[in-house]
Amino acid sequence: MREAYIARGYSLVSTPHIGREDLWHTSGHLENYADSMFTGMELDDAVYRLKPMNCPFHILIYRDKQRSYRDLPVRLGELGTVYRYERSGTLHGLFRVRGFTQDDAHIFCTPEQIEQEIVSCLEFAVDVLKTFGFDRYKAEISTWDGGESLKYLGTAADWEMSENALKRAVERVGLEATVVPGEAAFYGPKIDVKLLDALDRPWQLSTVQFDFNLPRRFELEYIGPDGAKHQPLMVHRALYGSVERFFGILLEHYAGAFPVWLAPVQAVVLPIADRHQEYAQKVAAELKAAGIRHEIDSRSEKINYKIREAQLQKVPYMLVAGDREAADGKVALRARKAGDLGSMPLGEALARIAQAIETRSPGE
Ligand SMILES: [Zn+2]
């Protein structure tokens, strides 16, 4: 993910986990979001709060120096851990936790640049989803109500420009999208990408969200070609949402049977009897040297029992080691779906596993 960020012109940043209360006043979090924030801690000079979002820190980085239109777009990305006070009864597995890591980014740009920036965000999102094996998704654009309710910030021109940019970006990327009027946040329209998992369940994942509020509260600016000060456009953007929740979705989608490159344990070594332990250690050392995540099941259980258990754990590969294998430097390789792949030289088995990892194969 970090490589992909850099290739796409993001600066990777790392911001503090706590911030002074005055920062959360400026951002508006203490007025609007205090219920979801942990209580303050009094330190030397002020009261500090755990961050519920990364945005204010990214804004401070943007504001750290004067920006010209030539410096834009500024794209700041972070795998940023945030903390939210969820009531204990609402916590739910990996899906709702009190501390989680967002793949968070903020883009600051000019009105001329915004459409291309949204296109790039959507292409990045689709790329990420495809990499993890999802190929069905749809987009939803949340727009305002035309100003009827008076709850929205920004001018009619702001809304028209940003909503049009979202609609045109969706067309350019070729995503199927529905428009939901009146569903936008008070501070700007957004686009959500929802994916459908193996059981057709929709999951809300990537978001690109306009913000007319924070640039104003933090008085962000850049110097335009006319030499005057202008306010940059700002979008919040997340692709996974949170890493924890994303892995929850992956677990559901794959029902635990991860592709080899994602499996927490990619291979397990199964010595048939105690006298094969030493050879099993040697096999494990080779797996380690090849960078393959592995375990050894060295319990004195019957081999069929160990195979069944590894199968239940959905481990992609099993390397069985008995008398013949130890004598010839071989292993009997088993794959999760295909079962017995036969006896082969250890090097050949390692190459086969490494190839499955390298090509992000779903497993054999
Ligand atoms: Zn944000």
Q: Where are the domains of the chain?
A: 2-254, 267-358
Instruction: Give me the catalytic one of 190, 237, 294, 330.
Output: 190
Q: Which fold has domain 267-358?
A: Rossmann fold (3.40.50)
**How many angstroms separate the alpha carbon of residue 134 from the centre of ligand 1?**
25
Cα 325 → chain centroid: 42
Distance 163 CA to ligand 1 centre (A): 19
**CA 106 – ligand 1 centroid, Å:** 6
pLDDT grade, residue 32 (50/70/90)?
Answer: confident
* Mean pLDDT, the chain, whole residue set: 95
- pLDDT tens digits, 200-233: 888 888 999 999 999 999 999 999 999 999 999 9
At residue 151 the predicted structure's pLDDT band, cuts being 50, 70 and 90, is: confident
pLDDT at 197: 84
pLDDT tens for 61-110 read 999 999 999 999 999 999 999 999 999 899 998 999 999 999 999 999 99
* Strand segments (E) across the chain: 11-12, 18-20, 41-42, 47-50, 74-83, 99-109, 137-143, 177-181, 190-196, 202-210, 222-223, 229-230, 233-242, 267-271, 294-296, 317-321, 330-335, 339-345
Q: Nearest-CA neighbor of 220 among 26, 353, 85, 359?
A: 26
Does the annotation mark 102 as catalytic? yes
Q: Which of 7, 235, 238 is nearest to 103 (CA)?
A: 238
Superfamily of chain region 2-254:
Bira Bifunctional Protein; Domain 2 (3.30.930.10)
The per-residue pLDDT for 167 is: 96
Torsion angles phi and psi, residue 208, rounded to 5: -120, 115
Torsion angle, alpha carbons of 38, 43, 48, 49, to 10: -20
Rg of the chain on CA atoms, in Å: 26
**CB 154, CB 118: distance < 8 Å:** no
pLDDT in tens, 179-188: 999 999 999 9
User: Is 58 annotated as catalytic?
Assistant: no
For the cut 90, the answer to whether the pLDDT of residue 48 exceeds it is yes
Spacing, Cα 238 to ligand 1 middle (Å): 8
